[in-house]
């Protein structure tokens, strides 16, 4: 009999689960530092609605305990004084193990706010007390399937200041179940009014399985944006979505996506760096394939980036020609590029600021003066730097 995803899930850790946990915990480390430095709140929240028991049966730590290790790794006590940890799992046995495993972690006695651990369905967890006011929160939504995943809940979690979310998006299960009667209610919560578009993608015989899975993420992101963020656009609300694909172990198909959701482009840039580090796909898009663990990602990645970036910048200037007349720093250009990509595809580009810089250095050296530098003063060793404002000239790309 074929093993289901959940059979023996907590026996030993798979490489895919390791990649997921490391992405979450490495980002959390950066997240806390940025939010703490911003200083707008003395209470910072970590909300994990599908926690599991915290450990695999062989003793390996899974995300909840790895997160506690991360909390312990900070030298300064700020994190232990400010962090509120909220864990939840609907499974009674996992909940009991989680309570024990958390209580036995050495950092717990140093926390000002004892962790809150609940045994509820994710949709039943009362989040209202964490949503109001300035309550920065990093949420982790990691179900086995797609039940109890809702764009509305994710929208609420990400909406308040300094709030980001990592979502395990089970693209392949969605592909399999999208048209089934019993799944309609759940799919409605994920895709909202965009559900017919998702069904169209599922039925499109011209699209490959990975292409369909990728499109589902963007239809979900489109629903999230249109329903919960576009109405708040005049208040300065933005939405950025960064997907990381995970392939199936035995075939060239997508298993799921780890989707990072944020309103803040700096957070997106930080997560890109972490995802690039753990990506091993043969293209510039970010992802992990356990069949390709020996691939050295950076070699193949850089080959594609230059031409892809040139195309996207070109397209951006044809849609927003006035942008071409302005000077911006590298970080500002990357934000413009990512905003443009969001408006077209409901996902940001997979490129980091450093990768954009490398391309600009090349274009500047080979491109017949296609890059202009604002006020280059004194003797300049490298023209393109992170702080210097630059402009693309009319002959860019020509």
Ligand X SMILES: C[S@@+](CC[C@H](N)C(=O)[O-])C[C@H]1O[C@@H](n2cnc3c(N)ncnc32)[C@H](O)[C@@H]1O
Binding site for ligand X (CB under 6 A): 21, 49-52, 62-63, 88-91, 94, 121-122, 142-144, 147-148
3-state secondary structure 74-142: CCCCHHHHHEEEEEECCCHHHHHHHHHHHHCCHHHHHCCCCCEEECCCHHHCCCHHHHCCCCCEEEEEC
Beta bridge partners of 247: 254
Q: Which is nearer to ligand X, 90 or 270 (CB)?
A: 90
Nearest approach in angstroms of CB 257 to ligand X is 14
Nearest approach in angstroms of CB 89 to ligand X is 5
Do you know the residue count of the chain?
398
Rounded Cα distance between 143 and 171, Å, is 12
Beta bridge partners of 245: 257, 287
Q: Which is nearer to ligand X, 164 or 338 (CB)?
A: 164
Closest residue to ligand X, Cβ-based?
A: 62
Q: Which is nearer to ligand X, 148 or 247 (CB)?
A: 148
Contact yes or no for 271/351 (Cβ under 8 A) = no
Q: Which is nearer to ligand X, 88 or 160 (CB)?
A: 88
Q: The tokens of 153 are what?
A: 């809940």
Nearest approach in angstroms of CB 55 to ligand X is 8
Nearest approach in angstroms of CB 225 to ligand X is 25
Q: Which is nearer to ligand X, 89 or 247 (CB)?
A: 89
The continuous run of DSSP H or E covering 261 comes out as strand 254-262
Buried b (16+ CB within 10 A) or exposed e, 359-389: bbeebbeebeebbebeeeeeeeeeebbeebb
Nearest approach in angstroms of CB 247 to ligand X is 17
Q: Which is nearer to ligand X, 157 or 348 (CB)?
A: 157
Q: Compute φ and ψ for 81, nearest 5 degrees.
A: -90, -25
The position carrying tokens 């997921």 is: 20
Nearest approach in angstroms of CB 63 to ligand X is 3
Nearest approach in angstroms of CB 36 to ligand X is 24
Nearest approach in angstroms of CB 3 to ligand X is 15
Contact yes or no for 334/272 (Cβ under 8 A) = no
Q: Which is nearer to ligand X, 101 or 279 (CB)?
A: 101
Q: Which is nearer to ligand X, 105 or 263 (CB)?
A: 105
Q: At what angle do helices 330-345 and 353-366 cross, to 10 degrees?
A: 110
Q: The tokens of 309 are what?
A: 């970036």
Nearest approach in angstroms of CB 40 to ligand X is 28
| N-terminal to C-terminal alpha carbon distance within the chain | 59
3-state secondary structure of 39: coil
Q: Which is nearer to ligand X, 51 or 349 (CB)?
A: 51
């Amino acid at each position: 009999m074929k093993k289901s995803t959940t059979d023996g899930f907590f026996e030993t850790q798979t490489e895919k689960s390791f990649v997921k946990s490391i992405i979450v915990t490495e980002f959390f480390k950066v997240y806390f530092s940025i939010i703490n430095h911003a200083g707008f709140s003395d209470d910072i929240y970590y909300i994990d609605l599908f926690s599991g028991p915290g450990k695999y049966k062989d003793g390996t730590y899974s995300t909840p305990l790895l997160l506690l290790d991360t909390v312990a790794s900070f030298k300064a006590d700020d994190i232990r004084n400010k962090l509120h940890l909220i864990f939840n799992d609907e499974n009674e046995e996992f909940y009991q193990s989680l309570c024990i495993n958390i209580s036995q972690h050495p950092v717990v006695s140093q926390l000002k706010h004892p962790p809150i651990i609940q045994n509820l369905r994710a949709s039943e967890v009362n989040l209202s007390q964490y949503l109001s006011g300035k309550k920065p929160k990093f949420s982790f939504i990691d179900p086995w399937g797609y039940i109890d995943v809702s764009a509305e809940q994710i929208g609420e979690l990400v909406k308040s200041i300094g709030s980001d979310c990592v979502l395990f998006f089970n693209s392949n299960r969605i592909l399999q179940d999208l048209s089934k009667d019993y799944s309609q209610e759940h799919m409605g919560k994920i895709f909202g009014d965009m559900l017919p578009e998702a069904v169209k993608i599922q039925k499109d015989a011209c699209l490959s399985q990975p292409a369909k899975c990728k499109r589902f993420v963007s239809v979900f992101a489109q629903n999230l944006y249109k329903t919960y963020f576009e109405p708040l656009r005049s208040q300065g609300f933005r939405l950025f979505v960064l997907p990381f694909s995970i392939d199936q172990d035995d075939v060239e198909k997508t298993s799921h996506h780890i989707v990072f959701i944020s309103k803040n482009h700096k957070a997106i840039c930080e997560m890109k760096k972490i995802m690039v580090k753990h990506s091993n796909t043969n293209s510039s898009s970010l992802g992990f394939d356990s069949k390709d663990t020996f691939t050295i990602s950076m070699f193949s990645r850089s080959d594609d980036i230059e031409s892809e970036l040139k195309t996207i910048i070109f397209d951006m200037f044809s849609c927003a020609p006035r942008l071409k007349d302005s000077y911006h720093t590298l970080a500002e250009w990357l934000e413009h590029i990512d905003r443009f990509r969001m408006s077209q595809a409901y996902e940001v580009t997979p490129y980091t600021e450093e990768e954009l810089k490398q391309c600009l250095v090349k274009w500047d050296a080979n491109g017949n003066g296609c890059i202009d530098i604002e006020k280059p003063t004194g003797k300049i060793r490298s023209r393109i730097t992170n702080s210097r404002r630059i402009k693309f000239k009319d002959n860019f790309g020509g």
